[in-house]
Structure 1
Amino acid sequence: MKIAPTFFRALAALLFAIAFVVSAPGAETKNYSVGVYYYPGWRFAPPLIQEPPWGAIREYGGRKPVLGWYDEGKIDVATRQLQWMHEYGIDFVIYDWYWINDGGPALTHAIDAYLQSPARSTVKFSILWANHTDTPSSLQQFDAIVDYWIRHYFSQQSYYRVDGIPAVFIFSPDGLERKAASFGTDVEQLLERARRKAVNAGLPGIYFVGTSQAVAGPIQHDLPASGYDAVSAYNYHMGLSGHYSADIPLSHSYRELTDGYRQSWNWILSHSRLPYFVPVTSGWDKRPWGGSPDRMHDQSYGTPREFKEHLESARSLLDRYPGATRRTVVICCWNEFGEGSYIEPTEKWGFEYLQQVRSVFGARTQ
């Protein structure tokens, strides 16, 4: 008898889910929600990825993934990564998402593999619109972007939601404001337009999270006035308390970097009217991609033990401000190997970074 391939895919997904429930370490209920940013840059994908991406990483010992120099467009790669995320207590993954003016959506191979993986139901997914690619160039293009989100992502059961509303992270609120002004509108109108599109498609709206440093203008006025629902960050490079100056030095060690994170956390929580999804980092070392202008800034990487101390500081903040933080942290990053921000298992550290995540924030809810 010839059985349809869809039957086998459905059976595989069922068996995979059952295996997770049986084998997951720990069955306690989590008190926290843990997200992680994912950089989909590990596949040759012109025009954004102009050459094989692993070449620069190979020269820096210790960064080779346990999966090897993988092609993240493969379903088995996505499945293994999701298995690890689930096992070590990561609740949702936020894929960096790109749109280019002449080609539409770009670097979607990792998220496409996620959507085909039998493990997709075990970890939620969201998108960080990496809107520093000179988009949107027009109102029509903005509409096309939102329509793509609604059609391809928001209808998925595994899409990450806040209060039942699909969440989208915006990398550059300033950039979006400039582009909106260039075609005669503003961000408040754009976000409301996007929400109406979602409602017309049968969804409850869109929950927009704007990323920002601890600077008074965006935190106290711009993001709330523009209609964002929450604030977070991709990463920080120094500590800020309401204002930025070119004279403020970048971190020169992981200790300085994480001290800066605490400074920014505390200022934002004291001044933001919006919920704050607390950002944390595994470090910074951009040498594979040419290095930082301040070369000493590339010494801002830490050991798994130091990472654990950073996570514990974040956890104490979630406990102190459970409403304002929604008890949520977002880690930078799963696989920013070129910037030295990664917790994906590597040949050097194995699963030690992931072990710290689980030890601080707990196992997945069963």
Structure 2
Amino acid sequence: MSLKKNEIVLFKQSNLKLIAYYLPQFYPIPENDNWWEPGFTEWTNVTKAKPLFEGHNQPRFPLDLGYYDLRVPETREKQAELAKTHGIHGFCYYNYWFGNGRKILDKIAKDVLDSKSPNFPFCFCWANESWRGVWFGVENQNILIEQLYLGEEDYKNYFYYLLDYFKDDRYIKIDGKPFLQIYKVNEIPDLEVFIETFRKLSIKEGFPGIYLVAGIPSNNPDWNPIEFGFDAAIGSEFSQMRYWQRNIVRSKSNLFYQVKDKIKAKYFREEKDFNKRNCPVIIKYEDAIKFLISDKKFNFPYFPVCVHDWDNSPRSTSRSLIFTGSTPELFRNHLTKGLQKVENLKTSEQFVFLKSWNEWGESNALEPDKKWGKEYLRVIKEEMSKYIEW
């Protein structure tokens, strides 16, 4: 099955929808040229990756789409075709607005907007955090770009930067309200001002409102989004695991605490070495997925995030977090749990997120690779076939 330009696959879509996170860092930008090397993209780290232990699946090699450049429209078309024909409803683009009008990696979304192609649903996640060199495995903690929060006027500017996207027919909406995820809500010092500004302006511009989704703070798993003015929460269990050293995990019965103790005993001699993460943290995928979707029942819409694999050693080398032993069938169990988690939500709110479509530098790409081909996508299609009439 192939798509012609601007063609939508014709099948009866279910209320339940899969949204895959989408990283736009696959074309050169001046900032990356200056920080790292001319022509730097996400592929630079991917191609330099080396195995750190016996059986370590590095480097990863892309298949169908190759080492692409996202400035090429045909690449974006093929991505949408692959996703759509395997049961994925849309992409959630990471959006980088640093305040005072500074934004980077926005060319791809702008090209998609202006060209009206591919005809594939999308939304944004505001990835509101400062960029540091540590992301790429260097010891330098210096801030490369600082995330600024400059108050109401700057939030207005951000809203109007996003408005053309919100008005696009492809932009994902819930009950007519544009969907917007905020990655780190606890970083915004005047959160009430931000929320009030976006809600007021969305109504002013003709929408019934805006649907704001919060990433639950990693240090407060009991955080309730409704109490802070949000409509829903995105599962952030993966962030809690990824940034474990910042968490307060008390219960010995908690799986994460048990995994943490085992890692410490096996890989680190002293607590200070564990905190510095001088060696990669290695967790079996079958253990990780027991933690990655909450078993709690929430009194607000909770959108789980399914993670099919993770290994950011291409970026972070010895400071990395590595899942081992991921397979399509183990992922099927994880995805099934995610799908079941939202079945009782209001029909317009039945969303499950996939992490991610193309985060190759973190070995977190659903796009076909040399080892597994389309097997993870096949699992997605088979599970979604229980909800979709193809």
| TM-score class, shorter | 0.7 to 0.9
Q: 2:96 touches 2:104 (CA, 8 Å); kept in 1?
A: yes
Counterparts of 2:8 and 2:384, CA distance in 1: 22
Instruction: Tell whether 2:176 aligns with 1:170.
Output: no
Q: Sequence identity of aligned pairs in percent?
A: 23
Tell me how many residue pairs correspond in the alignment. 326
Instruction: Tell whether 2:126 aligns with 1:129.
Output: yes
Q: 1:279 touches 1:330 (CA, 8 Å); kept in 2?
A: yes
User: 1:153: which partner in 2?
Assistant: 165
Q: 1:95 touches 1:125 (CA, 8 Å); kept in 2?
A: yes
User: 2:362: which partner in 1?
Assistant: 339
- Note closer, same or farther for the CA distance 1:266–1:238 as it changes in structure 2 (3 Å cut): same
AA matched with 2:154: Q
Counterparts of 1:109 and 1:18, CA distance in 2: 23
AA matched with 2:44: G
Shift of 1:336: 1.0
User: 1:115: which partner in 2?
Assistant: 113
Counterpart mapping for 1:214-229 below 5 A? 216=220, 219-220=223-224, 223-229=225-231
User: 1:40: which partner in 2?
Assistant: 24
TM-score with structure 2 setting the length: 0.75
Counterparts of 2:30 and 2:235, CA distance in 1: 27
Runs of 4+ in 1 over 4 A off after TM superposition: 116-119, 213-218, 363-366
- Note closer, same or farther for the CA distance 1:213–1:200 as it changes in structure 2 (3 Å cut): closer
Counterparts of 1:292 and 1:275, CA distance in 2: 37
Q: 2:80 touches 2:118 (CA, 8 Å); kept in 1?
A: yes
Q: 1:257 touches 1:300 (CA, 8 Å); kept in 2?
A: no
SS of corresponding position for 1:77: helix
Unaligned runs of 5+ in 2: 49-57, 131-146, 251-256, 261-280
AA matched with 2:97: W
Shift of 1:215: 6.0
User: 2:290: which partner in 1?
Assistant: 259
AA matched with 2:227: A
Counterparts of 1:91 and 1:56, CA distance in 2: 29
- Note closer, same or farther for the CA distance 1:15–1:343 as it changes in structure 2 (3 Å cut): closer
Counterpart mapping for 1:291-306 below 5 A? 291=317, 293=319, 297-300=321-324, 302-306=326-330
Cα RMSD for the two superposed structures: 2.9
Counterparts of 2:235 and 2:312, CA distance in 1: 18
AA matched with 1:266: D
Moved more, 272-281 or 55-64: 55-64
Q: 1:57 touches 1:288 (CA, 8 Å); kept in 2?
A: yes
User: 1:81: which partner in 2?
Assistant: 79
Cα offsets for 1:308-345 (capped at 9, x unmatched) = 121122223234x3349933210000111112211112
User: 2:248: which partner in 1?
Assistant: 245
SS of corresponding position for 1:266: coil
SS of corresponding position for 1:261: coil
Unaligned runs of 5+ in 1: 1-13, 22-26, 181-186
SS of corresponding position for 1:93: strand
Q: 1:58 aligns with which of 47, 57, 60?
A: 47
Counterparts of 1:19 and 1:124, CA distance in 2: 10
Counterparts of 1:329 and 1:148, CA distance in 2: 27
Q: 2:151 aligns with which of 114, 127, 138?
A: 138
- Note closer, same or farther for the CA distance 1:340–1:110 as it changes in structure 2 (3 Å cut): same
AA matched with 1:33: K
Q: 1:78 touches 1:113 (CA, 8 Å); kept in 2?
A: no
- Note closer, same or farther for the CA distance 1:67–1:77 as it changes in structure 2 (3 Å cut): same
Instruction: Tell whether 2:309 aligns with 1:273.
Output: no
SS of corresponding position for 2:342: helix
AA matched with 1:56: N
Counterparts of 2:370 and 2:47, CA distance in 1: 12
Q: 2:305 touches 2:355 (CA, 8 Å); kept in 1?
A: yes
Q: 1:88 touches 1:355 (CA, 8 Å); kept in 2?
A: yes
AA matched with 2:122: F
- Note closer, same or farther for the CA distance 1:138–1:118 as it changes in structure 2 (3 Å cut): closer
User: 2:201: which partner in 1?
Assistant: 197
Counterparts of 1:275 and 1:72, CA distance in 2: 33
- Note closer, same or farther for the CA distance 1:306–1:55 as it changes in structure 2 (3 Å cut): same
Moved more, 152-161 or 54-63: 54-63
Give the number of the structure whose residues are more often helix, by fraction. 1
Counterparts of 1:199 and 1:314, CA distance in 2: 32
Cα offsets for 1:66-92 (capped at 9, x unmatched) = 211111122111111011111111112
Shift of 1:226: 1.9
